[in-house]
């Protein structure tokens, strides 16, 4: 009996954990951490390391709360899509009240951690990001406009700004450059996914760009965004934040993303769209890793 109760308890906690979209949240925290690292000249001292740890924890909690709220609002849509039908809210494994309380508790705890042990600016910026993603993007923009990813991308681009604010107490131009890179990366990343998941989005009723404007127009937008993204990716070097190591990596990754997008534009296939989507993940992770390595090695 006790063994069965223990298994059920672990299963329920596993369902709550799944609501936080762990992989997405881990990338959010990683990008926030890059903002923290770049805000500190040289190696951080013990107090700054502790500040980074606490800030990352607070941001993790609020980001998880936003993800859970997103699952609650989109449970009907998620149930219609193969990519998301497994989510506990879509399957009815967790009720609305449970999910809402879970999201509220995570958001409150994360906000308290940031306000008390980091600084009020970081807390308010993080809470604004929660509102921007969970409410403005999920509830209002996503079901209304095919430009939902572009406008909603502002929330997804906030992590480096949050990290910078956590260590400095303000928002500098360096943080805004990092924001711009993620903001411009988001549309080609998600539209590549939407291209090979177009039937899922059509069934869901969401006005994603491939549904409303077709494959060719979407592929053109993906390619154009990768060109603009390449220019933005050079800004850390131009502004003097980083040196030649970052420049070389940024150029290689940007050209690779542009090449994938160009191939996608010329000769579409679901396999190529999937490959482009996966490369976009490598692009952002490797780009921010290069920022980190360049900061400490050169």
Q: Which residue has the higher pLDDT, 96 or 163?
A: 163
Q: Which residue has the higher pLDDT, 97 or 36?
A: 36
Q: What is the pLDDT of residue 79?
A: 78
For residues 150 and 176, state if they share a domain: no
Backbone φ and ψ of 119, nearest 5°: -165, 155
For residues 164 and 251, state if they share a domain: no
- Of 59, 81, 79, residue with least CA distance to 133: 59
For residues 118 and 189, state if they share a domain: no
What is this structure's pTM?
A: 0.90
Q: Which residue has the higher pLDDT, 143 or 112?
A: 112
Task: Tell me the mean pLDDT in the region 169-181.
Answer: 95
214, part of any domain: yes
Distance CA 118, CA 169 (A): 9
For residues 156 and 182, state if they share a domain: no
Residue 15 has pLDDT above 90, yes or no: no
- List the structure tokens of 257: 């993303």
Q: What is the pLDDT of residue 5?
A: 45
List the domain range (segments joined by +) for residue 145.
10-170
Contact (Cβ atoms closer than 8 angstroms) between residue 262 and residue 271: no
Q: What is the pLDDT of residue 2?
A: 45
5, part of any domain: no
> What are the tens digits of pLDDT across the range 98-136?
889 999 999 999 999 999 999 999 999 999 999 988 888
Q: What is the pLDDT of residue 9?
A: 62
For residues 157 and 135, state if they share a domain: yes
Q: How many domains does the chain have?
A: 2
For residues 46 and 129, state if they share a domain: yes
Sequence-distant (≥ 6) Cβ neighbours of residue 278 within 8 angstroms: none
Residue 139 has pLDDT above 90, yes or no: no
Contact (Cβ atoms closer than 8 angstroms) between residue 81 and residue 71: no
């Amino acid at each position: 009996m006790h063994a069965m109760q223990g298994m059920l308890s672990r299963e329920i906690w596993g369902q709550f954990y799944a609501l936080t979209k762990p992989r997405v949240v881990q990338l959010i925290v990683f990008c926030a951490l890059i903002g923290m690292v770049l805000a500190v000249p040289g190696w951080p001292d013990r107090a700054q390391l502790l500040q980074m740890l606490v800030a990352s924890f607070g941001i993790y909690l609020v980001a998880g709360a936003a993800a859970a709220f997103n699952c609650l609002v989109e449970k009907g849509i998620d149930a219609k899509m193969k990519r998301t039908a497994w989510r506990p809210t879509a399957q009815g494994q967790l009720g609305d009240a449970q999910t809402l309380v879970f999201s509220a508790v995570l958001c409150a705890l994360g906000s308290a951690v940031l306000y008390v042990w980091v600084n009020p600016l970081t807390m308010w910026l993080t809470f604004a990001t929660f509102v921007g993603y969970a409410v403005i993007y999920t509830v209002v923009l996503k079901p209304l406009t095919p430009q939902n990813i572009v406008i909603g991308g502002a929330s997804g681009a906030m992590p480096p700004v949050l990290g910078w604010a956590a260590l400095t107490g303000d928002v500098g131009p360096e943080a805004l450059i990092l924001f711009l890179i993620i903001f411009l990366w988001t549309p080609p990343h998600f539209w590549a996914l939407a291209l090979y998941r177009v039937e899922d989005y059509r069934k869901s009723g969401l006005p994603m760009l491939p549904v409303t404007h077709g494959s060719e127009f979407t592929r053109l937008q993906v390619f154009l965004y990768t060109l603009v993204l390449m220019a933005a990716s050079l800004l850390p070097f131009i502004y003097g934040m980083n040196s030649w190591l970052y420049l070389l990596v940024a150029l290689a990754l940007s050209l690779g993303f542009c090449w994938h997008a160009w191939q996608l534009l010329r000769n579409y296939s679901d396999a190529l769209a999937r490959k482009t989507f996966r490369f976009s993940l490598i692009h952002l992770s490797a780009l921010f890793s290069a920022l980190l390595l360049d900061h400490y090695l050169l």
